[in-house]
Structure 1
Amino acid sequence: MDHSPGLRERKKRRTRAALATAALRLFAERGYEETTIADIAAAAEVSPRTFFSYFPSKEDVVFAEVDDRLEEVAEKLAHREPRESAWQTIRRGVIGVMEALVSEHGEYGAVQVRLILERPALRARALERLTDTQEEIRARLRALCPDLDEIDAVAASGIAIGGLQAVIVHCRRHGYDAVSMRAALDRALAVVEHGLGSVEALNAPAPVSPRS
């Protein structure tokens, strides 16, 4: 089954990405408080009304890329290939998201992290998003792998999302280039994989559906 987005959805994603990139660039050049929503919209060549159709507030645009990538992980967990273990499904989804994280925003990734670390309101939003995402991934894991114990699912979602998120923040905070960041994420994924290797339910192949 083809799960690729249609033309309308691709255009919406491009507009959303343009707004996020414009916002981070302006935050770097002018400062967060000094940049208005009208400034961001103008830089992305859309109206302020269009901005609000994508983001409820200026704070939310800071998290655009993070939200999008985490949503992709959740979506990919819904599509398990025949005889694929739950971990293989997770790994396949995470690798695609890692590629996007390495290539997006470039120098502005550090701006994003600095804003979150320096502003209490943004740090609170980041923690809320992380907690919500871990809970969503836990639920997706249980749906993907019904035999997975509840505590194992909680631990697995925390290890996978928390571990990768921590490495991404570290890399951006310290200005890693794309090659170094990819190497760091590969190492992080290996650590996550090692940690989840003991969870038997995640590594068992999916049952083969009986022929009708």
Structure 2
Amino acid sequence: MDRTPGLRERKKEQTRRAVHEAALRLAVERGFDNVTVDAIAEAADISRRTFSNYFAGKEDAVLYAGEQRIADLVGALHDRPADEPAWTALRAAARALYGAESPSSDREWAQRTRMVHQHPSLLARQLANQHTLSRDLEAAVKGRALPAGTSRPALLVAAFLSGLRIALSEWTEAQDDRLLIDVVEEALDEVEKPFGT
């Protein structure tokens, strides 16, 4: 079955991305509180009504790319073979998502995104998203073999997500030209190592 989106779906996604990028740019330039939906629509060269066809509000527009990445990570995990062990499947899902990053990914954009996402009204939404991601990943690893000595899928997922969060933060702040996937792999390698001696 062909899952390639048609022209209409691709156009809709292009519009969503354009609105997201306009919302993020304006939030950085003006501060999130000073950005209106009308200003975002104007910057994206669409009508206010068209904006409402894509997003419920400015929070949705600013957080769109991050929420898509969450869906992509869960989708990549679901695409893994059912008999693959949980940790192997989690790491393969991370590779599928972060390995597709361009070597020229814009760290400045990532830093601006983090700055905007520090806004209190967005933090609550991000925390809810992280909780949902954790629950979705736990459900997706259910029935998979856990690493030796592990009996709690929730703990495995929490360790995985902590490794990802630290890797993304480190990469965003880095002053070198390492690829994001390399930083993610290093962090997850450390998570794999047993603590203690």
TM range (shorter): 0.7 to 0.9
Q: Which residue of 1 aligns with 2:142?
A: 142
Moved more, 51-60 or 63-72: 51-60
Counterpart CA distance in 2 for 1:44 and 1:104 is 22
Displacement of 1:139: 0.7
> Identity over aligned residues, as a percent?
31
Q: Which residue of 1 aligns with 2:28?
A: 28
Q: Which residue of 1 aligns with 2:183?
A: 184
Letter in 2 for 1:190: D
User: Cα gap change, 1:160/1:20 in structure 2, threshold over 3 Å: closer, same or farther?
Assistant: same
User: Cα gap change, 1:162/1:29 in structure 2, threshold over 3 Å: closer, same or farther?
Assistant: same
Counterpart CA distance in 2 for 1:72 and 1:120 is 25
Letter in 2 for 1:108: W
Secondary structure of the structure 2 residue equivalent to 1:179 = coil
CA contact (8 A) 1:116 1:123 kept: yes
Letter in 1 for 2:187: A
Letter in 2 for 1:112: T
Counterpart CA distance in 1 for 2:62 and 2:170 is 17
Deviations 1:95-116 (A, max 9, x none): 1211455666642221221122
TM-score (norm 2): 0.79
Displacement of 1:167: 2.6
Q: Which residue of 2 aligns with 1:94?
A: 94
CA RMSD in angstroms, aligned pairs only: 2.9
Counterpart CA distance in 2 for 1:109 and 1:170 is 11
Letter in 2 for 1:140: A
User: Cα gap change, 1:106/1:100 in structure 2, threshold over 3 Å: closer, same or farther?
Assistant: farther
Secondary structure of the structure 2 residue equivalent to 1:77 = helix
Structure 2 stretches of 5 or more lacking a match?
none
CA contact (8 A) 1:163 1:188 kept: yes
Q: Which residue of 2 aligns with 1:201?
A: none
Number of aligned positions between the proteins: 191
CA contact (8 A) 1:110 1:175 kept: no
Moved more, 133-142 or 41-50: 41-50
TM-score (norm 1): 0.74
